[in-house]
């Protein structure tokens, strides 16, 4: 299969981790007879330096004209004091809005080999965690009407949702639940917010099309508590932009390492999807061969699965990562408390070596 992939390395460790993901994609292409053509996209702080803005239209167009896009991360202290409309993070909103990717899928998976890094007790996590959060990405309070009064002493933001905006997220939640453990939890604040009550009405209507899926509801305050109290009760969670933002960070924290978590942002299927690790540009370790590339490599696996329907190839990458972890290889962030032990065993590795280990495993 011939496919074009837009690469958006971005800033900080972005270029380091994207380079490893490309090596892995190339190994997959060789093995399965595909051809991936890469188009480089300059976005984020590096685009501010080069063009004076974080996401020039022609850079976005490269993404729109590709079959999928893989992003590293954007931002860093160099650009922190710029006015908000030209900050690197604007590139993220520009990409999401421009590519019309309205749903963010974040699997929060705890790898059994990294159980030590999980801050929860053994009896709570059991054999591991596997939660999928479907977060609405282009609506709600982050995009609603906002303002500050003239005297600067009053400010407001508006949470507003329409039925179609909610329905496409809830439907996606049901679809994924159907392929997993058939449980969907809609998280909201329906005891107070009108917009949340609409989420519930829509979920009740959509439920009729998925009789095999059990639908439940939790208020956001309870859901964030349940996530640390009994995370294994969750299979798929569907929720609004802001609640999803907070819950998915909490879920990622309980899996142990930010360097392991991938994400996919998808639209209605007619345009390219956007895939990225959930971590940021980690300026503290940029260019030092210290970053864990596995979150980006796993994002590439999601890209193959969701944008190219290459399930076998995606699983090959995930199995390779699993095998490398089984063999004891660790970057610093996932070595955790056993760092000295891992180092003494010669298994503490950098970005490049970790990428190479996954490539070697795929080629086996």
Which residues are identified as catalytic?
142, 189, 221, 245, 249
Report, in Å, the least distance between residue 136 CB and ligand NAD. 17
Q: Would the annotation count 77 as a binding residue?
A: yes
Shorter beta-carbon distance to ligand NAD: residue 203 or 355 = 355
Shorter beta-carbon distance to ligand NAD: residue 117 or 198 = 117
Burial of 184 (0-12, 13-18, 19+ CB in 10 A): buried
Task: Tell me how far the alpha carbon of residue 201 is from its chain's centroid.
Answer: 28
CA–CA distances in Å: residue 20 to residues 59, 70, 95, 353:
22, 12, 22, 9
Q: In whole angstroms, how large is the CA radius of gyration of the chain? A: 20
Return the axis-axis angle of helices 351-363 and 14-32, rounded to nearest 10°.
Answer: 10
Q: Would the annotation count 103 as a binding residue?
A: no
Separation between Cα atoms, residue 87 and residue 363, nearest integer Å: 41
Contact call for residues 251 and 264 (beta carbons, < 8 A): no
Report, in Å, the least distance between residue 318 CB and ligand NAD. 17
Number of other residues whose CB lies within 10 A of the CB of residue 250: 15
Binding site for ligand NAD (CB under 6 A): 13, 73-76, 89, 92, 258-259, 276, 279-285, 291-292, 295, 333
Q: Would the annotation count 282 as a binding residue?
A: yes
Report, in Å, the least distance between residue 103 CB and ligand NAD. 16
Q: Would the annotation count 183 as a binding residue?
A: no
Report, in Å, the least distance between residue 30 CB and ligand NAD. 26
Shorter beta-carbon distance to ligand NAD: residue 101 or 185 = 101
Binding-site sequence positions: 76-89, 96, 106, 135, 221, 245, 249, 280-292
Which residue ranges are tagged as binding site for substrate?
Answer: 96, 106, 135, 221
Where is the binding site for NAD(+), in residues?
76-89, 280-292
């Amino acid at each position: 299969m011939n496919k074009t992939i837009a690469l958006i390395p971005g800033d900080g460790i972005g270029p380091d981790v994207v380079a490893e993901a490309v090596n892995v994609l190339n190994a997959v292409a060789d093995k399965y007879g595909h051809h991936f053509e890469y188009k480089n996209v300059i976005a984020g702080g590096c685009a501010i330096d080069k063009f004076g803005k974080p996401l020039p239209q022609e850079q976005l167009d490269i993404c729109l004209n590709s079959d999928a896009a893989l992003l590293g991360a954007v931002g860093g202290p160099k650009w922190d004091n710029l006015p908000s409309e030209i900050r690197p993070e604007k590139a993220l909103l520009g990409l999401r809005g421009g590519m019309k990717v309205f749903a963010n899928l974040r699997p929060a998976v705890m790898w059994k080999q990294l159980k030590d890094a999980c801050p929860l007790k053994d009896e709570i996590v059991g054999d591991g965690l596997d939660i999928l959060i479907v977060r609405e990405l282009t609506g709600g309070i982050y995009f609603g009407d906002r303002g500050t009064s003239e005297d600067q002493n009053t400010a407001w933001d508006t949470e507003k949702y329409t039925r179609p905006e909610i329905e496409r997220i809830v439907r996606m939640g049901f679809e994924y639940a159907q392929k997993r453990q058939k449980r969907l939890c809609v998280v909201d604040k329906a005891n107070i917010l009108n917009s949340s009550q609409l989420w519930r009405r829509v979920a009740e209507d959509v439920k009729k099309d998925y009789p095999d899926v059990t639908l439940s509801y939790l208020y956001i305050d309870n859901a964030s508590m349940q996530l640390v109290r009994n995370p294994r009760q969750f299979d798929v969670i569907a929720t609004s932009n802001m609640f999803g933002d907070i819950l998915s960070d909490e879920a990622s924290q309980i899996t142990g390492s930010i360097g392991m978590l991938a994400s996919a942002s998808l639209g209605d299927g007619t345009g390219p999807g956007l895939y990225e690790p959930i971590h940021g540009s980690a300026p503290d370790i940029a260019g030092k061969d210290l970053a864990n590339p596995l979150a980006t490599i796993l994002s590439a696996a999601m890209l193959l699965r969701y944008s190219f329907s290459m399930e076998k190839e995606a699983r090959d990458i995930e199995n390779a990562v699993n095998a490398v972890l089984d063999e004891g290889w660790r970057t610093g962030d996932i070595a955790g408390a056993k760092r000295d032990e891992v180092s003494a065993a010669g298994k503490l590795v950098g970005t490049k070596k970790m990428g190479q280990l996954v490539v070697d495993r795929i080629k086996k």
